[in-house]
Chains A and B, each alone.
Chain A
Amino acid sequence: MSLLSLKGVSKRYADGPRERVVLREVSLELAAGESVVVWGLRRSGRSTLLRVACGIEVPDSGLVCFDGRDLAEDGGGVLGAGIGYCRKAFRSSEGQTAREEVMVGLLARGMPPSTARSRAEAALERTGAKDCGDLRLSELDSGEAIRVALARTFALRPRLLVVDEPVSGVDLIERDGILTLLRSLADEGTAVLASAGESTGLTGADRALTLGDGELRSGPAPELARVLALRPSPARQASG
């Protein structure tokens, strides 16, 4: 059974006097541990698709199910537990540290502070932001910010991680690190649904799709992207 299933999902918006069809009878299945990235131009509806897929927005028609449960009936219960929607923006107070930011969601769920702190530390380490724990949110660069945002979502231990344009605005040199992280989360069993406005974001996906004119089109199942070693491994260095 699919972890996430969209069947015949449509969504329209009023665009002045006109009506814009953002999603037109869109269907998508996502399995546990699978990484799917949806590429689209600006205003193609890729962000809407993600919000609909995790129950933040209700479709005009069609069915969205997570683990067999209809999100229209149980959306509030699943979001934040089984589904983690990664917001890239921080809404916290100015002086808050990255660690405190990751802890907020855990404390809000009634977790004791000491447990929340250790869970936050583990999540920051897992996303490669271990050294950012004591930094203020305003001090993070673009790559660190997305890693902290991912840690905040990952700390909730979702089975499906949804993230809108994870590498958008991130320095080119840092992007592969984020993509490698998402790939590794999928390899460990967390399904990943992401969007991309640039083709770089498609790298490493199990499936790449495009969204245009409200229609979702899938590419062929690619080979798993290999990781290109850009630095000699310690073994090679020792023998060389």
Chain B
Amino acid sequence: MRELGATPMQSPVNWALLGLIIERPSYAYELAHRFERTYEGALALSSVSHVYTALTTLKGRALIEEIPGTRAGRQPKPRYRATAKGHADYRGWLLGQLAEDRRRQRLFVLQLSALARKPEAALEIVADYEQECLAEAANVPIGDHDGAAAEGTPALVSRLVVEEHRLAVGAKLAWVQYARSELSRAAQAPAPRR
């Protein structure tokens, strides 16, 4: 039988839950509530029991451990904390997300290049892509943080998320200008001789 830790953990829910435990050791029920608050709109639990399944997986992979002594009493409620391996793997996974973003973006461009022989069609897709980017850019929430006065981790995290989003859209808009310029040139070039 293959060891549980041999294959990389894929579930975004499991990784997100590990992040919460790294932030602060918690009970399962509390984790479910923190999960909903933190990842609202980005990631969803199918049910509260999803947390218990995820905790079992994280424990099986030695990414978390029960805090000793928390099972005492008539209704034991174990609390969980991250192991050193959990901290290290989580950092690795976060960095891996950058590669995943690059992979997705590369895939999009490669799929678009399937239309390279029909630059007019590719230009239409680029135009639609630009429209999506513009709508996204305008819809990014405005951070009402009154200058540098906003404090606390939630405010900081919100600012980081918003700024990452805005800068990413800006890069895409710049790419659209470049792609349009290249594709327009290709559209005007004489067709290759067969």
Interface residues of A (CB under 8 A from B): 37, 39, 41, 44, 143, 172-174, 176-177, 179-180, 183, 198-200, 202-210, 212-213, 217-220, 222-223, 225-231
| Residue of A177, A210, A230 touching B134 (CB-CB under 8 A) | A210
Kindly provide the distance from the CB of B160 to the nearest chain A CB, expressed in whole angstroms. Answer: 11
CB distance B139 to A223 under 8 Å? Answer: yes
Minimum distance in angstroms from A218 CB to a CB of chain B: 8
- Does the CB pair A202–B143 fall under 8 Å? no
**In the complex, what's the smallest C-beta–C-beta distance from B155 to chain A, in angstroms?**
4
For residue B177, give the distance in angstroms from its CB to the closest CB of chain A.
5
Smallest beta-carbon distance B150→chain A, Å: 4
Quick check: B145 and A199 within 8 Å, CB to CB? no
B72 at interface (Cβ–Cβ under 8 A)?
A: no
How far is it, in angstroms, between the C-alpha of A207 and the C-alpha of B139 when the chains are bound? 10
B143 interface neighbour in A206, A220, A230, Cβ under 8 Å: A230
In this assembly, does B13 line the interface, its C-beta being within 8 Å of a C-beta of chain A? no
- Distance in Å from the Cβ of B153 to the closest Cβ of chain A? 11
Smallest beta-carbon distance A159→chain B, Å: 22
B131, CB-defined interface residue at 8 Å = yes
Question: Residue B131 contacts which of A200, A219, A223 (CB distance < 8 angstroms)?
Answer: A219
Given A217-B130, A220-B134, A231-B155 in contact, is the A203-B173 Cβ separation under 8 Å?
no
Residue pairs across A and B with CB atoms within 8 Å: the count is: 119
Distance to closest chain B CB from A20 (angstroms):
14
Chain B at the A interface: SS class: helix
Which residues of chain A are within 8 angstroms of B143 by Cβ–Cβ distance?
176, 228, 230
Given the known A-B contacts A200-B170, A231-B155, are A225 and B147 also in contact in the complex, defined by CB atoms under 8 Å?
no
Known: A208-B134, A209-B134, A210-B134. A231 touches B151 (CB 8 A): yes
Residue ID in chain B nearest A39 by CB atoms: B173
Partner of B146, one of A204, A206, A231: A231
Chain A hits for B149, CB < 8 A? 231
Bound complex: CA of A210 vs CA of B126, how far in Å?
Answer: 13
Decide: B142 and A41 in contact? CB cutoff 8 A: no
Interface size on B, residues (CB 8 A): 39
Q: What is the minimal beta-carbon distance from A219 to any residue of chain B, in angstroms?
A: 3
Task: Indicate whether B96 reaches chain A with its CB closer than 8 angstroms.
Answer: no
The distance in angstroms between the C-alpha atoms of A199 and B138, with both chains bound, is: 9
Given the complex of chains A and B, what is the CA–CA distance between A173 and B135 in angstroms? 23
| CB-based nearest A residue for B144 | A227
A-B contact pairs, 17 of them (CB 8 A): A41-B174, A173-B148, A176-B145, A177-B145, A199-B169, A202-B137, A203-B141, A206-B138, A212-B177, A213-B180, A218-B134, A222-B135, A226-B142, A227-B144, A229-B144, A230-B143, A230-B155
Please give, as numbers and ranges, the residues of chain B lying within 8 Å of A222 by CB-CB distance: 134-135, 138-139
Smallest CB gap from B180: residue in A? A212
Chain A residues in 8 Å Cβ range of B139? 222-223, 225
B34 part of interface (Cβ distance < 8 Å):
no
B56 close to chain A: CB less than 8 A: no
Interface residue B59 (Cβ < 8 Å from any Cβ of A): no
Closest CB in chain A relative to B161 CB, distance in Å = 9
Per the bound structure, the CA–CA distance linking A177 and B141 in Å amounts to 12
Bound Cα distance from A212 to B184, whole angstroms: 12
A-B contact sample (15 more), CB < 8 A, given A176-B145, A206-B138? A39-B137, A41-B174, A173-B159, A177-B146, A198-B167, A199-B170, A202-B138, A207-B138, A213-B180, A217-B127, A217-B130, A219-B138, A223-B139, A230-B145, A230-B155
